[in-house]
């Protein structure tokens, strides 16, 4: 069977390499079932976390880590289902280049048991250190991982960081009485030394749609859910290393004053990049309600703020920006019908270089989740596709010119048609 596939693989690779109108998936993991996925870069390799449904009625999910090279080949993998525990969260690479998996774990035969956890790996995906907190032992269910609204889509509402051997975490968790009885939700801030010493663990009054750390400071979008608190606007809150609120600001209160449900973004170097639905009619770009880009310094001073020219687009993913090796900035968005996505490239001062749209065939909906810079100056896109009867993982790699880069490892796939965009 494998020998029979080799000519087909070669034909697909050759055809795709010369066709700029076709987008083919990168890595043989593309097309596999998925519920969650996240990618980070370690040295020149890609670390992928994938959680997917199983047919086991007892253990319904399985979580895996994969190490993938620049050609899209899977080099190694690690099963995050350890004994009767299953870990959910994100891979994270520290400034020192150490790989961690940060999140929560729960014991599969005890629904109420859930804890913060951190695993540290060596270069061969062997666990060299493990931390588990004693919190969340009773009464808490699964942590929030997905969010969607009428204006867009985000994922991974919980974020984690390791800074100077301290594990930092913040996210919203479901408070449950039983698997079928949900009592509400609560957002928690947590930090502990990786040797097990806990420094802080307390709730923050927030309803979040996205949060992220920059070293040991925390940024929470939709920072408070208390309408009587005039000092904390409903957009972004900035918290210090003790979890104390510093300040906050609104993205756009020029018209309705509403906070942008589902705004997403993160920190790159000394700038903050956000994407949301722009309501301000004075913003340049598409005159209708449309996805906006907001770039600020670490003190929230506006550097550039505009709506993209292509109308009918929404924010997409937890972090829709990535910095290329030459300093340029990639950006992704999704069309309101979730049937095509947009990839753009900007100069460091956010002047548009190119913009391209891609339309899937045979796919119900597409959710671009994340961008990751590659060694050649291009970018890797982490997507989730909704097919009839399930969801699948797809990775797409693009050259610095926006052309698809196809690995020779691919199997048969449904082609995606690229549409030039002004």
pLDDT in the model for residue 77: 93
Q: State both tokens at 317.
A: 């993913």
Is the model's pTM score more than 0.75? Answer: yes
Q: What is the C-alpha to C-alpha distance for residues 8 and 11, in angstroms, rounded to an integer? A: 5
Q: Residue 151: how many CA atoms within 13 Å on its side-chain side?
A: 19
pLDDT-derived band at 413 (thresholds 50, 70, 90) equals: very low
Q: Residue 83: how many CA atoms within 13 Å on its side-chain side?
A: 5
Q: What value does the mean pLDDT take over residues 22-49?
A: 88
Cα-trace Rg, the chain: 21
pLDDT tens track for 219-267: 887 655 555 555 555 577 888 999 888 877 766 554 444 445 557 889 9
Asked whether residue 311 carries a pLDDT value surpassing 50, the answer given is yes
Closest CA to 369 of 51, 19, 16, 28: 51
Closest CA to 51 of 38, 40, 41: 38
Written in H, E and C, the secondary structure of 160-176 is EEEECCEEEEEEEEEEE
Q: Phi/psi at 15 (nearest 5 deg)? A: -65, -45
Asked whether residue 138 carries a pLDDT value surpassing 60, the answer given is no
pLDDT tens track for 65-121: 999 998 888 999 999 888 767 777 889 999 899 999 987 777 666 555 677 888 999
DSSP state for residue 270 in the 8-state scheme:
T
Q: What is the C-alpha to C-alpha distance for residues 276 and 260, in angstroms, rounded to an integer? A: 6
Q: State both tokens at 153.
A: 């889509």
DSSP state for residue 2 in the 8-state scheme:
H
Range among 53-57, 157-161, 298-302, 326-330 rated most confident: 326-330
pLDDT in the model for residue 131: 86
pLDDT tens track for 383-402: 998 887 788 999 999 999 99
């Amino acid at each position: 069977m494998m020998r029979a596939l080799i000519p087909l693989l070669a034909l697909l690779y050759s055809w795709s390499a010369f066709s700029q109108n076709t987008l083919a998936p990168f890595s043989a993991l593309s097309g596999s079932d998925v519920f969650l996925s996240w990618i980070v870069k370690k040295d020149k390799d890609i670390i992928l976390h994938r959680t997917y449904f199983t047919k086991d009625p007892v253990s319904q999910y399985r979580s895996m880590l994969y190490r993938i090279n620049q050609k899209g080949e899977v080099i190694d993998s690690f099963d995050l289902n350890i004994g009767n525990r299953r870990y959910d969260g994100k891979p994270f690479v520290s400034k020192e280049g150490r790989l961690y998996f940060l999140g929560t774990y729960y014991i599969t035969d005890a629904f109420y048991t859930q804890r913060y956890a951190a695993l540290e790996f060596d270069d061969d995906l062997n666990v060299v250190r493990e931390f588990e907190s004693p919190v969340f032992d009773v009464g808490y269910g699964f942590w929030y991982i997905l969010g969607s609204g009428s204006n867009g889509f985000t994922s991974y509402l919980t974020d984690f960081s390791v800074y100077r051997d301290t594990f930092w975490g913040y996210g919203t968790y479901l408070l449950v009485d039983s698997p079928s009885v949900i009592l509400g939700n609560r957002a928690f801030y947590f930090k502990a030394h990786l040797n097990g010493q806990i420094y802080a663990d307390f709730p923050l009054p927030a309803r979040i749609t996205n949060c992220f750390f920059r070293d040991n400071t925390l940024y929470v979008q939709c920072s408070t859910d208390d309408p009587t608190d005039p000092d904390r606007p409903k957009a972004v809150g900035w918290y210090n290393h003790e979890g104390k609120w510093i300040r906050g600001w609104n993205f756009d209160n020029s018209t309705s004053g509403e906070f942008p449900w589902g705004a997403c973004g993160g920190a790159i170097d000394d700038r903050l990049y956000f994407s949301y639905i722009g309501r301000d009619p004075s913003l340049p770009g598409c005159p209708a309600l449309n996805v906006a880009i907001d770039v600020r310094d670490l003190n929230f001073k506006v550097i550039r703020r505009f709506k993209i020219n292509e109308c009918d687009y929404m924010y997409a993913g937890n972090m829709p920006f990535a910095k290329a090796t030459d300093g340029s900035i990639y950006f992704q968005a999704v069309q309101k019908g979730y049937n095509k996505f947009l990839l753009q490239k900007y100069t460091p001062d956010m002047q548009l270089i190119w913009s391209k749209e891609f339309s899937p065939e045979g796919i119900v909906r597409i959710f671009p989740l994340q961008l990751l810079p590659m060694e050649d100056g291009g970018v890797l896109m982490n997507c989730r596709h909704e097919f009839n009867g399930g969801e699948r993982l797809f990775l797409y790699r693009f050259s610095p010119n926006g052309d698809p880069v196809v690995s020779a490892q691919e199997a048969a796939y449904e082609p995606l048609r690229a549409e030039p965009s002004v």
